[in-house]
Structure 1
Amino acid sequence: MSARSVEVRLVKSGRTKIRYGAELLADDGVRLTVRAPWAGEGGRDFGFVRFEPGDVFTEHYWRDRWYSVKEVRTGDGMLKGWYCDVNRPVAFSGGELTAEDLDLDLWVSHDGATVLRLDEDEFAASGLAERDPEAAEQAVQALDELELMARLGKLTDLLA
């Protein structure tokens, strides 16, 4: 693994959900930015957006925030939008970036016209509120913050 290559590991309910290689673009000690191609098998249609081979994700993770923001573009550079994951603050060690997914997500279309809260049912069913009420509260606050920034057209301010 070269100095600029990292492995991203997304964990959910204590198990590795997906692992993929990425290029480390920046690490200022608080925020890490990586770029990676779509890591899923084939394409995936969510109804509001389709991710497919050739798509490029520029992913922003924070060591002190409860979310990550992924800018999604086609292979030829057309912006599809931003997929925001609510996760615990990330860990980065030994070339591996680990993010623990807390189920809540937000999709923001390329023009900002569509802002969708996702997976609130999965979050409620996860039992996090009972197991770790403080983490559950942080997760809901993170989703609310992301949604507010998106609706105010300020989501990209996070990424500047």
Structure 2
Amino acid sequence: MSVNSADRARFLEVVLVKRGRTKIRYPAELLADDGARVTVRAPWAGDAVRDFGFVRFEAGDVFTEHYWRDRWYAVKEVRAATGAVKGWYCDITRPAALLGTELVVEDLDLDLWRSADGADVRRLDEDEFAASGLARTDPAAAAAAAAALDELEALARGDGFAALLA
């Protein structure tokens, strides 16, 4: 994504950190920042197709990503190149921090998927979370992460998901 200096204020770099190391960084267009939630849009930043079995992320996909400064998750709407909604991929994270033009988010391994029609809601990577040792090294963060996953799952299975992103 090429950004000229006049538009630079409309762009951020999303920095996803995992266990103290940068996992990925990519440019994203800033859509909104209300002080609590930052919303950005970016094309699929992966090098290759990522096939989870229940969804594929691939070139041409566009992600509208919602990050909160006061919540322990991020919600990413995934659209195909055609514009069709594939679903929402939700990362359990520490609250996001906007540092200059970098939006820094720490991934805590737990994830949730909600299909476009809402029929498929699944918790992901609970084994990775358990293996991370966070419950031992930072019990308060582990409890907040588990509570955030429960909250997101309840919203995804009920009527509150659309309101969360409105």
Q: What residue in structure 2 maps to residue 22 of structure 1?
A: 28
Report the identity percentage: 71
Q: Distance in 2 between matches of 1:72 and 1:147?
A: 17
For residues 135 and 49 of structure 2, the distance between their equivalents in structure 1, rounded to whole angstroms, comes to 33
Q: Which amino acid aligns with 2:124?
A: L
Partner of 2:117: 111
**For the residues of structure 1 that align with 2:68 and 2:162, how far apart are their CA atoms?**
15
5 Å matches for 1:105-144? Answer: 105-144=111-150
Whole-Å Cα distance in 2 between the matches of residues 156 and 23 of structure 1? 22
Q: SS in structure 2 opposite 1:158?
A: helix
CA contact (8 A) 1:73 1:81 kept: yes
Output aligned runs, 1:59-138, within 5 Å: 59-138=65-144
Q: Flag structure 1 segments of 5+ consecutive residues without an equivalent.
A: none
Q: SS state of the match for residue 9, structure 2?
A: coil
The equivalent of 2:52 in structure 1 is 46
Deviation sequence 1:112-149 (CA, Å, 0-9, x none): 00001000000000000000000000000000000000
Q: Give the partner amino acid of 2:46.
A: G
User: What is the CA RMSD across the aligned residues, in angstroms?
Assistant: 0.7
SS at match of 1:3: helix
TM-score after normalising by structure 2: 0.95
Unmatched 5+ stretches in structure 2? none
In the TM superposition, what whole-angstrom CA distance separates every residue of 1:40-79 from its partner, at most 9, and x where no partner exists? 0121101110000000000000000000000000112100
Q: Which of structure 1's runs of 4+ aligned residues deviate more than 3 A?
A: none
Query: In structure 1, what is the equivalent of residue 16 of structure 2?
Result: 10
Q: Quick one: which amino acid aligns to residue 44 of structure 1?
A: R
